[in-house]
Structure 1
Amino acid sequence: MTTIYDIAKKTGFSITTVSRALNNYTDVSPKTKKLILEAVEDMHYYPNSVARTLSTKKSWALGIIFVEDLGIGMKHPFFNSVIEGFKKSVEQKGYDLIFLNRYVGGEKMTYLDHALHRGVDGIAVVSSNYDDVEVEKIIGSSLPNVIIDSHTSKSNVVYSDNMRGSELAVDYLYSLGHRNIAHISGHSKTFVGLERLRGFKSAVEKYQLHNSSIAEGGLFSVDGGYQAMKTLLQLENRPTAIFAAGDNLAIGAMKAIKDAGLNVPDDFSIIGFDDIELSGQISPSLTTIKQDMDKIGEQAAELLLQQINHKTDPTISIVPVELIKRETTKAIK
């Protein structure tokens, strides 16, 4: 069976150029497109995506793209749960998922080019990066898309109410008597890191907590939380409570406190953010702000399919969060 690689070999053009010609990109010259289409006809090449769409004009496939700096992708419990919710929703409508990368047949492509090459009907992008060139290309394309865990006014977006979650965390710590509350922040390059920091600062201003401190936790890792907590432990006026921008950061902070010979919650109260499965299994179990990860995935699927089927305008969906009280927080006098 003839493949796109055979077409590229016969014409002398790259796989990317062949793909862009077949998908009617305007930056492919008429002469180049003519040569490629002639080769397609001569070699009787019919892309699978075209064959599937002859009757419905759809490929019944959706692309999934991860754009994040942690380097762990689906292994991260947040991403895993969100994609599972998305998968269940679109499968009920008859769609398959294709996980897109930057290489096809050993040749480097943009994510958008790969999506067009695969002929997907739409793309879901899970992006922790606040401003990414690859994501901007997808947003600016005519291909229906939804962005998860980041923000833009130009596309469908779905994310948790990060700012409100931070306010809930500080509200609760304040109600327990804490007045010296520190924040272990997520990386400033990420949308969620910035939003959770904004929420913390808003709550600090509301309560006039002049002793509050902020320690940079980096890319939401356990080690980042450990190092940030070591910094807070060196302060002359130590906080009595810490709100961490992610559960992994909070877990790292708890380890640093233990290694320093101190105790949670007797010496420090800690609140995380996410409610990953591990949060309820560690000892002491972690008080945290729960994201409804299934709902995020379901909402992303709904918005994307609406755009595919009804050409709807971009929509912003902010999913509510809630405080989960466990064992890492304690009232003080």
Structure 2
Amino acid sequence: MVTIYDIAKETGYSVTTVSKALNNYSDVSSKTKRAILDAVEEMGYLPNSHARTLTTKKSWTIGVIFIESLGVGMKHPFFNAVIESFRKNVEVLGYDLLFASRMINNQQKSYLEQFKYRGVDGVVVVCSLFDDVQVKELMDSSIPTVVIDLHSKESAVVNSDNFAGSYKAVEYLYSLGHQSIAHIAGHATTFAGQERRNGFMTSMKTMGLDIPDEYVVNGDYFSREGGYKAMKQLLSLPNPPTAIFTAADSLAIGAMEAIKDAGYQVPDDFSVIGFDDIELAQFINPPLTTVRQDTELIGEESADLLIKQINSQQKIAQSVVVPVDLVIRDSCKALVKEESSKPS
């Protein structure tokens, strides 16, 4: 069985340095840590969890709370990708994930009670809702916590630059000649929904474009059905838009289905842009132009923030905003200005 002493001998570092690297201490350089972690993987080192717990006074377990409003749970494509990235970044340091259950000994408990009972070292929360009381309770507790897809000045939070992404989407549509641009918005109770709507409104005003009230339609909680229903509403207008920016790829897919069911084509009749760049976006017909969230970096930054708190035994109130990119595919088309007839 490979021991920590074997890792030290193989790498040439002291046992103390190897131990610090495995526990992600900040006084170990990235180069040293990488060399040690590579040796750990190559040699198949597995620490004894019981001994490690007694030695470090840590459970080596991180609690996970996953809150989304579509009822699909871990099948949610964006949140699933973020948690997978987070898992990879903490697993290499020796942590296991524990997904929350409200039941302990057949009694319903709060998230905070659940994680105190389990003795987790920290908690990662994936949640867009502003008004979840139990998430707020966790954020206010002494347990190291990082929240993904939410904004707070009182906790460690990581989210995409929703505002900038929405601004870029409208800017792109405007560059194609579109001036009648509508927005299918995410729910107003979500941070992402609010920020993407704000980015849309600001960009439209900057471009000097009108925003009729009926051009901003609620797509509910970013659902495919919400996008379909909202697009039908836009199609029924006396002067429908030529382009639609949606607050999520799922909304965009629903909108495209509504367009096709009404006898129109994307992008010949209507241009559509999404937000997220879920895997399905590149495979639908036509492939969806969208704003890509960097799920790998979101997971990495979240893991880094949480491990810092666990190691320092202090909560950090820090916000990390992850950049986004516009991915251009085939769901948008440039408008061709009608040429004035030439005199004979």
Partner of 1:36: none
Name the count of aligned residue pairs: 285
Deviations 1:293-330 (A, max 9, x none): 11101110000000111236321000000000001000
Deviations 1:149-177 (A, max 9, x none): 01111110000000000000000000000
Residue type of the alignment partner of 2:277: D
2:86 is paired with a residue of what secondary structure? helix
Q: 1:266 aligns with which of 245, 265, 268?
A: 268
1:174 is paired with a residue of what secondary structure? helix
Q: Structure 1: how far apart are the matches of 2:288 and 2:83?
A: 24
Residue type of the alignment partner of 1:259: D
Partner of 2:331: 328
Offset, 1:69: 1.8
Q: Structure 2: how far apart are the matches of 1:53 and 1:136?
A: 29
Map 1:71-110 onto structure 2 (within 5 A). 71-110=71-110
Map 1:121-200 onto structure 2 (within 5 A). 121-200=121-200
Partner of 2:26: none
Mean CA deviation greater in 139-148 or 65-74: 65-74
Q: Structure 1: how far apart are the matches of 2:101 and 2:171?
A: 42
Partner of 2:249: 247
Q: Structure 2: how far apart are the matches of 1:313 and 1:121?
A: 14
Offset, 1:67: 2.0
Partner of 1:229: 231
Q: Contact 2:274–2:291 at 8 Å: present in 1 too?
A: yes
Q: Structure 2: how far apart are the matches of 1:184 and 1:92?
A: 40
Q: Contact 2:227–2:254 at 8 Å: present in 1 too?
A: yes
Offset, 1:211: 4.4
Residue type of the alignment partner of 1:317: V
Q: Structure 1: how far apart are the matches of 2:72 and 2:160?
A: 21
Q: Structure 2: how far apart are the matches of 1:165 and 1:321?
A: 6
Q: Structure 2: how far apart are the matches of 1:88 and 1:52?
A: 20
Runs of 4+ in 1 over 3 A off after TM superposition: 49-53
Cα 1:114–1:238, aligned 2, differ >3 Å: closer, same or farther? same
Q: Contact 2:139–2:154 at 8 Å: present in 1 too?
A: yes
Q: Contact 1:179–1:211 at 8 Å: present in 2 too?
A: no
Q: Structure 2: how far apart are the matches of 1:91 and 1:54?
A: 19
Offset, 1:251: 0.2
Deviations 1:45-81 (A, max 9, x none): xxxx998633211000000001222211210000110
Q: So what's the TM-score if we normalise by structure 2?
A: 0.81
1:83 is paired with a residue of what secondary structure? helix
1:173 is paired with a residue of what secondary structure? helix
Deviations 1:87-135 (A, max 9, x none): 0000011100000121123210001110111110000000021221011
Q: Contact 2:204–2:211 at 8 Å: present in 1 too?
A: no
Offset, 1:276: 0.1
* Structure 1 spans left out of the alignment, 5+ residues: 1-48
Q: Structure 2: how far apart are the matches of 1:51 and 1:101?
A: 27
Q: Structure 2: how far apart are the matches of 1:64 and 1:236?
A: 48
Offset, 1:194: 0.4
Map 1:198-213 onto structure 2 (within 5 A). 198-212=198-212, 213=215
Residue type of the alignment partner of 2:183: H
Q: Contact 2:83–2:299 at 8 Å: present in 1 too?
A: yes
Q: Contact 2:143–2:315 at 8 Å: present in 1 too?
A: no
Q: So what's the TM-score if we normalise by structure 1?
A: 0.84
Q: Contact 1:69–1:128 at 8 Å: present in 2 too?
A: no
Q: Structure 2: how far apart are the matches of 1:273 and 1:98?
A: 30
Mean CA deviation greater in 51-60 or 102-111: 51-60
2:56 is paired with a residue of what secondary structure? coil
Q: Structure 2: how far apart are the matches of 1:193 and 1:324?
A: 20
Once superposed, what is the RMSD of the aligned Cα atoms? 1.3
* Structure 2 spans left out of the alignment, 5+ residues: 1-48, 337-344
Q: 1:220 aligns with which of 219, 222, 225?
A: 222
Q: Structure 2: how far apart are the matches of 1:178 and 1:330?
A: 9
Residue type of the alignment partner of 2:205: E
Partner of 1:281: 283
Q: Contact 2:267–2:333 at 8 Å: present in 1 too?
A: yes
Q: Contact 1:185–1:193 at 8 Å: present in 2 too?
A: yes
Deviations 1:8-64 (A, max 9, x none): xxxxxxxxxxxxxxxxxxxxxxxxxxxxxxxxxxxxxxxxx9986332110000000
Residue 313 in 1 paired to residue 311 in 2? no
Q: Structure 1: how far apart are the matches of 2:134 and 2:70?
A: 17
1:179 is paired with a residue of what secondary structure? coil
Identity %: 55
Q: Structure 1: how far apart are the matches of 2:268 and 2:223?
A: 24
Q: Contact 1:122–1:304 at 8 Å: present in 2 too?
A: yes
